[in-house]
Structure 1
Amino acid sequence: MERNPIPQFKPPHRNSPQRILIVRLSAIGDVILGVPVLCALRRAFPKAEIGWIVQGPGSQLLRGHPDLNTLITIPKLSFRTPSKFLEASSLARAFHPDLTIDLQGLMKSSLLAYLSGAKVRLGFASGEYDGREGSYWLNNRLVTPTSRHMVHRGLELLQPLGVVDSAIEYRLAEQETDSLMAKRVVEENFSGGPFAMINVGAGWPSKLWPNDRYAAVAKHLWNRWQFPSLVMWGGETEKRRALEIQSLAPEACKLAPSTSLTELRSLLRLASLFVGSDTGPMHLSVAVDTPTVALIGPMPIERVGPLGPRHRAIQNERLTKQQKSERKTNLSPILSIEVPMVCEACDSILGELSPSLLTRPTR
């Protein structure tokens, strides 16, 4: 359990919750999409003790967040290993929450909220994507969101607290060592000039766009805008994909070094453009306000697409309700996105940037 010092604020609202525990365990992109809830809670309850229980690499991006008091990192949970649940619930109870917010809406997240001992447990009513696996039996203040996007739906969970706040903030922390590493990479590869970042990986096969298409986009960015691309990767499989893209467009691409998530966050802050599918790095790019072209495959664009005028989302085909069970494997939606669509979105973003923003900004 890690604690961050929080600056002193004005007194909290009357009858406000004193100890709030956010439960959003994974995945990286979904954790990022939950961060605006943390920021909204801090604006509403400036004196509250706010904790977040999370598993896996998403914890790296929460560490040091200025609005978070306590970060509880746990191993990946499985109902086949009850001992891990007992350990995780012990850590949740040790925080002594009087309120939990279940952003995940699954049985394991709602069970952790229940076992934390919190008297008030906010969660989603039963729905297509939220409030699943009987989580609504364990959460005792249920919300039926009217919004489609995950960020807005998370913010709607706060309405029973009297919090009606549509402002979207991320305020992700920046470590000096990560910032220095990112600046060194940019200087060594691009002499400090502007560049785009291309992300080749994704958690599901249905979100993987073909290598040759990414290479074609990199060539377009180079020929049209004189923008080189830094091809990012995570793990050996993605590295092989990145190397293939570089080999297909050697004049337009550089291979990114191996990075941690926090180093990637710093690199994204320095990029002028990001291109990639619906995955953690795309949501991270949006969170640090780098202009983003998001290639949306099987998930609804109105649920996961980037929010804000600096970004573009492309979805050319979507799964039917009957195909929902194929969302991890059905390649048809992502393959229906053609190279000219992505190039047009890139041109739209870059054409709106002022000349000064097409040079490397200092962030």
Structure 2
Amino acid sequence: MTPRDWYDALMANPLSDLVAPRFLISRMSAIGDAILTLPVACCLRDYFPDAYIGWVVESKAAPMVRGHQALDAVIELQRGWFTSPRGVSETRATLRDHQFEIAIDCQGNTKSALAGKLSGASRRIGFSGKHAGELSRFLNNERITPVFHHITDRSLELLTALGIHHPQVRWALPLDEADRKWAQGFRNSIRTSRVAILNPGGTWPSKLWEADRFASTARYLADRYGYHSLVVWGSFDERLMAEEIVSLSQGTATLAPNTSLTTLAALIETSDLFISGDTGPLHMSVAVGTPTIGLYGATRPGDSGPYEQSALQLQYEAGSRRHRRQASNRAMRAIGVEHVCAVIDDMHQLPVVRAA
């Protein structure tokens, strides 16, 4: 049998006939995007309970997949692994040890597709069209043209090559019980019936909303619905902004303690509302089931919005990714406090009385 004959025979057989297929999910970087791809792992486990499922990821996003209940292995790579012959060789050896048969490239760029190729998987499923970036279209040998726009939906569309249609979307974000215990203890120290978490940070300046607007939102939440707001932060600059929000909030907000990614996710899980720009913690909130409002200016909620949750965008900072990354927050400033408060009112299903 020639290699082509073997490949055609494999394609003709339903995957369900395989006893325990060995899958590799490739989604490398960006915390939020890794979270948005978790339903792929859950779906594979649901359909193939005896499968061996691995995920190749870079260190930054690894905490969001490490320990996930659907995964047998998480292969963690350092950033830039693909830029040196040694890095490529070591990655190849590591991936080959797992004997993957089917690679699913959910990212659609050179490094994510290269990981699938290096793994030795005979079937390498990826995107065609505009979502097939750089060299991925040449490295993947089965290509799906997605119909949906959102990262989660189009990642799940790749599974149509395996005969999976209309999958259930679930996340099962991996959280340690120790993190949950700490988060619940901290939540219990806040003596209000409702807690909102405000996340002013963002990886791009163009994703940032104004500190005074977050503070005004905290005051509205307290006055109208009895919330106390907790302002979370990661970097030094984010802490400075968080402290400004607390200072302007007139006692309706406090500064969150320093957290890791997993303790932050556990803390968000204990809250009643989460408000943020487009950044990793926003998608943590969706994954743990907290009502979420996303604020958008330099990215599109149709692509990376809070999945089936509320998103606000009044203007869009058009242009290349590089331009949008370096732009001001002009488009975010188009979102007023009144717009956010209107969404809050809708979420609480209380009509706002207006003068005639």
Question: Fold-level match, TM-score > 0.5?
Answer: yes
Q: By how many angstroms is 1:174 displaced?
A: 2.7
Q: By how many angstroms is 1:81 displaced?
A: 3.5
Equivalent position of 2:7 in the other structure:
none
Is this contact kept in 2: 1:212–1:245, CA < 8 A?
yes
Q: Which amino acid aligns with 1:198?
A: L
Is this contact kept in 2: 1:17–1:98, CA < 8 A?
no
Equivalent position of 2:140 in the other structure:
139
Equivalent position of 2:286 in the other structure:
286
Is this contact kept in 2: 1:305–1:313, CA < 8 A?
yes
Q: TM-score, normalised by structure 1?
A: 0.88
Give per-residue Cα distances to partners, 1:189-231, cap 9 Å, x unaligned.
x137320000011111111111111111111111111101010
Give per-residue Cα distances to partners, 1:272-324, cap 9 Å, x unaligned.
0000011100011001110000001222221112222xx2110101234x555
Q: By how many angstroms is 1:255 displaced?
A: 0.5
| Counterpart check, 1:234 vs 2:231 | no
| Counterpart check, 1:29 vs 2:32 | yes
1:227, 1:131 → 2: CA distance? 44
Which has more helix, going by share of residues?
2
Q: Which amino acid aligns with 1:146?
A: V
Equivalent position of 1:334 in the other structure:
332
Give unpaired runs (5+ residues) of structure 1: 1-11, 353-363
Q: Which amino acid aligns with 2:209?
A: W
Give unpaired runs (5+ residues) of structure 2: 1-14, 351-356
| Counterpart check, 1:68 vs 2:61 | no
Equivalent position of 1:108 in the other structure:
111
From 109, 121, 125, give the equivalent of 1:118.
121
Give per-residue Cα distances to partners, 1:80-100, cap 9 Å, x unaligned.
433233322322122110010
| Counterpart check, 1:255 vs 2:267 | no
Is this contact kept in 1: 2:192–2:226, CA < 8 A?
no
1:46-195 equivalences in 2 (<5 Å): 46-77=49-80, 79-127=82-130, 130-188=131-189, 190-191=190-191, 193-195=193-195
Equivalent position of 1:360 in the other structure:
none
Q: Which amino acid aligns with 1:327?
A: R
Q: By how many angstroms is 1:187 displaced?
A: 2.0
2:330, 2:169 → 1: CA distance? 32
Secondary structure of the equivalent of 2:69?
coil
Distance 1:17 1:325, change over 3 A: farther
Is this contact kept in 2: 1:89–1:115, CA < 8 A?
yes
Equivalent position of 1:356 in the other structure:
none
1:260, 1:295 → 2: CA distance? 23
2:164, 2:322 → 1: CA distance? 35
Aligned residues: CA RMSD: 1.7
2:102, 2:69 → 1: CA distance? 20
2:317, 2:34 → 1: CA distance? 24
Which has more radius of gyration? 2
2:39, 2:164 → 1: CA distance? 13
1:61, 1:134 → 2: CA distance? 26
| Counterpart check, 1:312 vs 2:315 | no
1:17, 1:302 → 2: CA distance? 35
Q: By how many angstroms is 1:332 displaced?
A: 2.6
Distance 1:346 1:231, change over 3 A: same
Is this contact kept in 2: 1:186–1:192, CA < 8 A?
no
Secondary structure of the equivalent of 2:24?
strand
Q: Which runs of 4+ in 1 moved over 6 A?
A: none
Is this contact kept in 1: 2:193–2:226, CA < 8 A?
no
Secondary structure of the equivalent of 2:325?
coil
From 39, 42, 58, give the equivalent of 1:39.
42
Q: TM-score, normalised by structure 2?
A: 0.90
Is this contact kept in 2: 1:17–1:99, CA < 8 A?
no
Equivalent position of 1:361 in the other structure:
none
Distance 1:143 1:303, change over 3 A: same
Secondary structure of the equivalent of 2:212?
helix
1:143, 1:329 → 2: CA distance? 32
Q: Which amino acid aligns with 1:280?
A: G
1:9-28 equivalences in 2 (<5 Å): 13-15=16-18, 18-28=21-31
Q: Which amino acid aligns with 2:128?
A: A
2:88, 2:252 → 1: CA distance? 48
Give per-residue Cα distances to partners, 1:55-105, cap 9 Å, x unaligned.
123211212211111111111125543323332232212211001001111
1:86, 1:205 → 2: CA distance? 37
